[in-house]
Structure 1
């Protein structure tokens, strides 16, 4: 039997974390590898993302999330239209090298933004790319074409924290 940290229930821990949440969300569209989605959930917990949005019906590997899914606000949308309707009015930033307008280092991060990552094979679908307010690339120096999606998610969350976290990220 696992002992709940700090002698609190899961609900009490979630309540304690709520006011500490960061002012961004991370969305993953149809990631094909369930381990990657679990790893993104675990990393998003480390940055206390406002929410983790899963677009599509692909599962995630709970062991990769290392139990952090129980403390997170995970929102699932069956398709792109449902997702876009739910985030209407929020700034959507796609993370995609091939369609980027600027780099991670140049992009502005307005409050309440949603970072959007696509699948490992297909990237961000065209309809979602068209809905993005900005599309950014993470600079690369090798010959490979892309970062693993879980690594890319961690990089954008880390850059958000470096710039915006009042707890001392910068």
Structure 2
């Protein structure tokens, strides 16, 4: 259920209040190529209380698309994949890329702790080399003739899958 930030509190205070509620995953966008899409992903990441959003490259995001949620998020801009690897320091990186998928999102029963979900651009996705360097490559099943999803939709599907499996694992049996 949504949280209501304390009215009149500065963003820094709201971030402090949200910190212990953050989840054990991060979202990374590799040269997304669409500043509106990046803003929308920031908004979605906020709704799932991702640990952080990592932006590879120097592309901007539009605050309007994030609906002000960038104020409450930890956003790091990294120069390249080497900087990403250094930043995540051994945490598992899972590419989300249908063309080089090793398995379907539907087949994932649990996600590793502290996983970093890496997304490419809507137009070009991620390269084989990038995917080969990742710990896993997951594809989101799609069924129409259009063979791609908007970046915000794809990230929302994956974050929702993480949240659903996390909630299921936390339930008493």
Q: TM-score, normalised by structure 2?
A: 0.90
5+ unaligned residues in a row in structure 1: which ranges? none
State whether structure 2 residue 98 is matched by structure 1 residue 88.
Answer: no
Conserved? CA contact 2:40–2:66, under 8 Å: yes
Q: CA RMSD in A?
A: 1.7
Query: How do residues 12-91 of structure 1 correspond to structure 2 at under 5 angstroms?
Result: 12-91=13-92
Which of 109, 112, 116 is the matching residue for 2:111? Answer: 109
Gaps of 5+ in 2: none
Contact 1:103/1:136 (8 A) holds in 2: yes
Instruction: Identify which range, 108-117 or 5-14, moves more after superposition.
Output: 5-14
Task: Give, in angstroms, the shift of residue 165 of structure 1.
Answer: 3.7
The Cα shift of 1:31 comes to 0.6
Deviations 1:106-165 (A, max 9, x none): 123111000000012221134421221110111111111111111100100011011104
Aligned to 1:153: 155
Runs of 4+ in 1 over 4 A off after TM superposition: none
Stretch moving more, 4-13 or 44-53: 4-13
Give, in angstroms, the shift of residue 80 of structure 1: 1.5
| Secondary structure of the structure 2 residue equivalent to 1:105 | helix
Tell whether the 8 Å contact from 1:100 to 1:135 is kept in structure 2 after alignment.
Answer: yes
| Equivalent residue pairs, number | 165
Distance 1:7 1:57 in 2: 33
Distance 1:36 1:5 in 2: 28
